[in-house]
Structure 1
């Protein structure tokens, strides 16, 4: 049948058919178009603009697949209607379907009708979306308000109708290509490779392309050229799909993208570690590990580099990862990595380590189990912000040259999944990962536990309410965000966190909260530690050293705090004389965290200019001043050297240095 549409003063003849389950299919003619855009920065993956030929016409669904249409294939999906408040009605776009679900629906429909159904290729999708235009949107370089639905990043999702086909179609009669819900495409995500006919993407990859943007998404992500992608098994309230009726193009896919530099030239020779002296103090010159890469490398390096994690490899290398972004709530956020190769003295230039395109990537950790398996955990948002994160896990068995496909360790995009550096293994062999319980400055820390080396993860405490963090109280979360967690020798867990501070004895003021669990994280008991609180821009580490004692590295005070009794902290010189120091310090406990008998400012006393990057910036180190703030991460190599990262700097020292008090000037 022929349907006449009127759009923005243009009369368009559209040929369409309706299939057996009520999906309207519009004939899209063969033709040529310019794919991509000339944007850079977060949109650099849209370049280069290249000519694409679609050699054969195809039928494309006029709208996204609805609940009623999808549930003709999968009736059980009806239980997901209204999840998080979205998509309750028959004629709303189906959501909470992953790539595998969408492909299975197409296969079912193909068998049902004896016709080839599939997802659109990325090129077919953009070709149909543009509908003969070359502008940002099929409506020009702006999107009319009538086509928009809460087009901003919503920390708490704003409920809107996802009813399909309610706005005017584009010039080819296709609805909802700019927004409503994102749509799965057929292709593996990968870089463009120039002029092509009927491209089908890459031969392999990690993520599947999604297109079109959605509700709860800034308008720029709804442009015709904008590229998004997702882990194929991921699903959310933002993503659905539409279908094509046509045979699969016969084009051969492009080769898989090359591995980033951090995964190249990786030695597989086992390193021979030679323990550093147990009596000779060692403190090496701090060096930058966050280095701006050469522009020719095309590494997505942004203005704000922060929140590191670190681990060592059996081949002697160190790996540091961190996020790079312009805004902490930005979709451009990516995880970069640098490698300090065995016996090298300078970190490699950074390269991209892990990035789900156009998703916020807040929170990452690394851990090496001393048996050759390296674990990487990361948060993955639905869009921007960092509240509704899923948790993924990847592993490497070959010193980080190759990584497993991301496993959704916690597939629900929700609070309590903001990964914190400090993943560790208990004496039972269980993996424990701390994660912020709330995106705000307070709200505590949750833990996730895997008893099978990362295959299945569970939270010991799942109740939504936040405990009352006061001395003697008990609750299901660790007091304070960004918590460091260790297992004590008696099997209990000990944690220290930021904010949710607890008054100390007498008149000492607020103290860093200490949480102890004797039931592996189901409940925690709170008390005031003897350590000062940490503030914004600061993240402590809590770690068990190879030699046995517990180590805390934290900060004496917040540098924005006015000078007064709370600013700085008293330390002892070798003579026993006290002095006031400021900034990053280390504390050692030889009684499982009950007391911290040695406290030392993290400086060798040498005067030097340093730059801590991120929220820290430039500072002067001397005998009484260390780095004033930063997010910390730590590991200790088998030679017993301690490697501490702040937001941009790498510190190296040993236990003997920590025990040696500074001499009198």
Structure 2
């Protein structure tokens, strides 16, 4: 294929002069519409999730250009790449010759333009973001080229659908804009030439975006995009290698603008400077129980910092850093199926949590599911889900790594590039004794679909899913299937190499008919198959996520919840006090196993008995902690630092204790 570098040479050297602006049809039958030189106001005065459209600024395009009246079709693209025909009808979309081509990455779109340039001896390329918006607006200053309301004739499936609604992507079927361009509001998103980055203020001439970046701009929205994201000014972005049923492209015929790109944006001043000095972890007295005051780690940032902090902050992951810090991440959003969802981070150092900073965000994409892992040798792994639009069913899995305590990260790599089920990342990536990485991911967006695992045997470079087959198991006791029973599963490796997992829902009746139990799954073959059994623990419910890990000292630790938080008369669990008496407790508990999960002799409520008011954030809200009540629900994440302190995060709170505290029975409840 022709590289983008070669395309730039062709455009800059072979085609230096402006092209003739007469409507024409090229050798592929593609109608090209003349777009005149001129000026317009780019962007919109928006805040919150659409702040990237500001500031509004005057843009002048010094030269006219020809632009495809429609998006590139299957027949046109396949004249360049006949093998793409195999993708027709994937996910049910784009089967016909005259439908917009989809499942095309940015490099593939660029290669098509280079091929067409050589074929015709004329300069073809993707439009710059400025050219695209100028052409879309067609002289308008309103939300859409025809006003502030998008007429029904342009609507296809303009909602966030968990299951994509199949519609025709035939080009040119909706009314053209005043400049005779079709499908600028919907049909498929369109790749633009620019790297995604913030706008500069002030007048600009022939802008071409930033010098480099992580994401390429897409514009126009798609057949499955809510209407507010179809506006002329709305900006989207994608990892260049990504592709889906929502994204295609159109071409322009014009030389490359001679403008210099804007410089790469400097990183924000937050998080403040990260130490690179290796920590000297203190040796703590292993016999002295430790339970620290719970801390709030989800802190609202100062409004002057312009961190995208929304109303719903949830689903944490946490790991330790070689410099002695803790790194926590979570999603922040207004809606769990929202495109505004971003991943924030905070750092625990010198005994307190920093204000949050934005950690990872693909523009206008839902970012459900994240995990962190320190491999013990200085590498931190970050895995994240990336949606095509909203919701959390059709996620690709993206991996980044850091070798400097999270100060910088590698570019996001699509390690599971298909946007599909079984990719909803769960906090709790583990490293096996062989050095393999195991990442659990929900197999279904619903409450009972089980959990898949993804395995890398080469330090994250390649990943496989050992699950064989497509059918969801029944998850009955004693039966075997290819998925872990329960979503949001926690996974741990046993000393004999087996994998043990616990999950939410797909509950299994207790053998003594005393009720349902949290399911327990065991794999002897690296996750290819799992055998199901009831655990000794109560089920996990909505708003709750368990966590399981092997402690540095050897035992297995599971942290979960005693009952459904909305029960009016909760059963709770029975706990023992130091004098041998028992009492009922409610909320978060910790359980220890010293025999690889066969028995769990230590089960303790996660409270030091002091009365205090706490707020668990997210779905938890306010609660009272005391001798018999701990946090009632929350999504849990856990890490243990080299000094053997156990750190458990709920949706908003940070708990710190050690093995000695877990083994120490509490005082009697009076």
Same fold (TM over 0.5): yes
In the alignment, structure 1 residue 336 sits paired with structure 2 residue 344: yes
What is the aligned partner in structure 1 of residue 278 from structure 2? 270
Which residue, 191, 197, 203 being the options, matches 1:184? 191
Conserved? CA contact 1:262–1:338, under 8 Å: no
Which residue, 613, 616, 631 being the options, matches 1:612? 616
Q: Distance in 2 between matches of 1:353 and 1:338?
A: 9
Q: Distance in 2 between matches of 1:71 and 1:122?
A: 25
**SS of alignment partner, residue 223 of structure 1:** coil
**Residue 219 of structure 1: how far off its partner (Å):** 0.8
In the alignment, structure 1 residue 582 sits paired with structure 2 residue 586: yes
**Residue 59 of structure 1: how far off its partner (Å):** 1.1
Conserved? CA contact 1:58–1:245, under 8 Å: yes
Which residue, 195, 201, 205 being the options, matches 2:209? 201
How do residues 164-313 of structure 1 correspond to structure 2 at under 5 angstroms? Answer: 164-195=171-202, 196-261=204-269, 264-313=272-321
Q: Distance in 2 between matches of 1:459 and 1:495?
A: 16
In the alignment, structure 1 residue 632 sits paired with structure 2 residue 636: yes
In the alignment, structure 1 residue 453 sits paired with structure 2 residue 476: no
Q: Distance in 2 between matches of 1:206 and 1:71?
A: 28
In the alignment, structure 1 residue 490 sits paired with structure 2 residue 496: yes
**Residue 262 of structure 1: how far off its partner (Å):** 5.2
Aligned CA distance change for structure 1 residues 462 and 239 (closer, same or farther; 3 Å): farther
What is the aligned partner in structure 2 of residue 9 from structure 1? none
Which residue, 153, 158, 174 being the options, matches 2:160? 153
What is the aligned partner in structure 1 of residue 169 from structure 2? 162
After the TM superposition, which segments of 4 or more aligned residues of structure 1 sit over 3 Å from their partners?
260-264
Conserved? CA contact 1:273–1:638, under 8 Å: yes
Q: Distance in 1 between matches of 2:381 and 2:271?
A: 15
**SS of alignment partner, residue 400 of structure 2:** strand
Which segments of 5 or more consecutive residues in structure 1 lack a partner in the other structure?
A: 1-13
What is the aligned partner in structure 2 of residue 408 from structure 1? 414
Deviations 1:83-139 (A, max 9, x none): 111111111100000001001111111111222211111111000000000000001
**Residue 251 of structure 1: how far off its partner (Å):** 1.2
**Residue 148 of structure 1: how far off its partner (Å):** 1.4
**Residue 454 of structure 1: how far off its partner (Å):** 0.8
What is the aligned partner in structure 2 of residue 18 from structure 1? 25
**Residue 258 of structure 1: how far off its partner (Å):** 2.5
**Residue 227 of structure 1: how far off its partner (Å):** 0.5
Deviations 1:133-185 (A, max 9, x none): 00000010011111111111111111111111112210111110000000000
Which residue, 87, 90, 94 being the options, matches 2:101? 94
What is the aligned partner in structure 1 of residue 531 from structure 2? 525
Deviations 1:361-380 (A, max 9, x none): 10000001011111000011
Number of matched pairs:
648
**Residue 257 of structure 1: how far off its partner (Å):** 2.0
Q: Distance in 2 between matches of 1:365 and 1:159?
A: 32
Aligned-residue Cα RMSD (Å) equals 1.0
What is the aligned partner in structure 2 of residue 433 from structure 1? 439
**Residue 19 of structure 1: how far off its partner (Å):** 1.4
Conserved? CA contact 1:262–1:339, under 8 Å: no
Conserved? CA contact 1:262–1:337, under 8 Å: no
Which residue, 470, 475, 478 being the options, matches 1:469? 475
Q: Distance in 2 between matches of 1:554 and 1:324?
A: 23
**Residue 15 of structure 1: how far off its partner (Å):** 4.2
Conserved? CA contact 1:379–1:392, under 8 Å: yes
Q: Distance in 1 between matches of 2:30 and 2:565?
A: 62
**SS of alignment partner, residue 72 of structure 1:** helix
**Residue 260 of structure 1: how far off its partner (Å):** 4.2
What is the aligned partner in structure 2 of residue 374 from structure 1? 380
Conserved? CA contact 1:445–1:480, under 8 Å: yes
**Residue 316 of structure 1: how far off its partner (Å):** 1.1
Normalized against structure 1, the TM-score is what? 0.96
**SS of alignment partner, residue 352 of structure 2:** coil
In the alignment, structure 1 residue 36 sits paired with structure 2 residue 43: yes
Q: Distance in 2 between matches of 1:254 and 1:185?
A: 16
Deviations 1:32-70 (A, max 9, x none): 111111121211111111111111111111110011111
**SS of alignment partner, residue 371 of structure 2:** strand
Which residue, 316, 319, 333 being the options, matches 2:324? 316
What is the aligned partner in structure 2 of residue 559 from structure 1? 565
Which residue, 581, 584, 601 being the options, matches 1:597? 601
What is the aligned partner in structure 2 of residue 363 from structure 1? 369
How do residues 116-131 of structure 1 correspond to structure 2 at under 5 angstroms? Answer: 116-131=123-138
Conserved? CA contact 1:149–1:215, under 8 Å: yes
Normalized against structure 2, the TM-score is what? 0.96
Aligned CA distance change for structure 1 residues 605 and 258 (closer, same or farther; 3 Å): same
Q: Distance in 2 between matches of 1:467 and 1:147?
A: 42
Q: Distance in 1 between matches of 2:450 and 2:633?
A: 20
Aligned CA distance change for structure 1 residues 153 and 208 (closer, same or farther; 3 Å): same
Q: Distance in 2 between matches of 1:264 and 1:621?
A: 33
